[in-house]
Amino acid sequence: MTEKRSSVHGEWSSGLIFILAATGSAVGLGNLWRFPYLVGENGGSAFIILYLACILLVGLPIMIAEVTIGRKGRRSPINSLRLVARDEGISQKWSLIGWMGVIAGFLILSFYSVVGGWSLFYTFEALKGGFSGISSDAASSLFEGLVASPGSVLVWHTVFMVILFGIVAAGVKRGLQRAVTLLMPLLFLLLVGLVLYGMTTEGFGEAMTFLATPDFSVIDASVFLKALGQAFFTLSLGMGAIMVYGAYLPQENSIPVSTGWIVGMDTLTALLAGLAIFPIVFTVGMEPGEGPGLVFVTLPIVFGEIPLGLLLGIVFFVLLSVAAITSGMSLLEPSVAYLTESTGGSRVKSAAIIAFLIWLLGAACGLSLNIWSGVTLLPEKSIFDSVEYVSSNILLPLGGLFMAFFVGWMMRTHTVASELDTHHHHNLFLLWLYVTRFVAPAAVLFIFLNATGLLAF
Q: Does 298 bind ligand PHE (CB under 6 A)?
A: no
Question: Closest approach of Cβ 234 to ligand PHE, in Å?
Answer: 4
Least distance from C-beta 109 to ligand PHE, angstroms?
8
Q: Output the CA angle 388-164-28, nearest 5 degrees.
A: 50
Q: Choose, by CB under 5 A, the member of 31, 140, 340, 392 that binds Na ion.
A: 31
One of 15, 24, 30, 292 touching ligand PHE (CB under 6 A) = 30
Q: What angle do CA 228, 101, 334 make, to 5 degrees?
A: 120
29 binding partner (options ligand PHE, Na ion, none; Cβ < 5 to 8 Å by kind): ligand PHE
Looking at residue 94, the DSSP 8-state letter turns out to be G
- Which residues, 313 to 342, sit near ligand PHE by CB under 6 A? 327, 330-331
Residues 227-286 close enough to bind ligand PHE by CB under 6 A:
233-234, 236, 239, 241
Residue ranges in 167-206 that form contacts with ligand PHE under rule CB under 6 A = none
Task: Decide if 334 contacts 77 (C-beta within 8 A).
Answer: yes
List the x/- string, 261-300, binding to Na ion by CB under 5 A: -----x----------------------------------
Contact between 108 and 392 under an 8 Å Cβ cutoff? The reply is yes
Site for ligand PHE in 95-124 (CB under 6 A): 108
DSSP 385-429: HHHHHIIIIIIHHHHHHHHHHIIIIIS-HHHHHHHHT-GGGHHHH
For the chain, state the CA radius of gyration. 21
The stretch near ligand PHE (CB under 6 A) out of 14-22, 28-36, 58-66, 431-439 is: 28-36
Contact in structure between 335 and 102 (CB atoms under 8 Å): yes
* CA 9 – CA 226 distance, rounded (Å): 35
Which listed option, Na ion, ligand PHE, none, makes contact with residue 389 (CB within 5 to 8 Å by class)? Answer: none
Using the rule CB under 6 A, is 304 a contact of ligand PHE?
Answer: no
CA angle at 304 for the pair 300 and 308, rounded to the nearest 5°: 110
d(CA 94, CA 393) in angstroms, rounded, equals: 21
* DSSP H or E run through 103: helix 96-127
Tell me which residue has its CB nearest to ligand PHE. 30
Eight-class DSSP state of 60: H
Which one of 20, 26, 64, 284 is in contact with Na ion (CB under 5 A)? 26
What DSSP designation does 252 have?
Answer: T
Cα gap 114→117, rounded to integer Å: 5
23 binds ligand PHE (CB under 6 A): no
Window of 25-33, 170-178, 253-261, 428-436 that interacts with Na ion by CB under 5 A: 25-33
Rounded CA-CA distance 354/421 in Å is: 36
**Closer of 244 and 301 to ligand PHE (Cβ):** 244
Measured CA to CA, the distance from residue 447 to residue 450 in angstroms comes to 5
Residue 119 or 350: which CB sits closer to ligand PHE?
119
Residue 241: contacted member of ligand PHE, Na ion, none (CB under 5 to 8 Å, by partner type): ligand PHE
Where along the sequence are the contacts to ligand PHE (CB under 6 A)? 25-26, 28-31, 108, 233-234, 236, 239, 241, 327, 330-331
Where along the sequence are the contacts to Na ion (CB under 5 A)? 26, 30-31, 234, 266
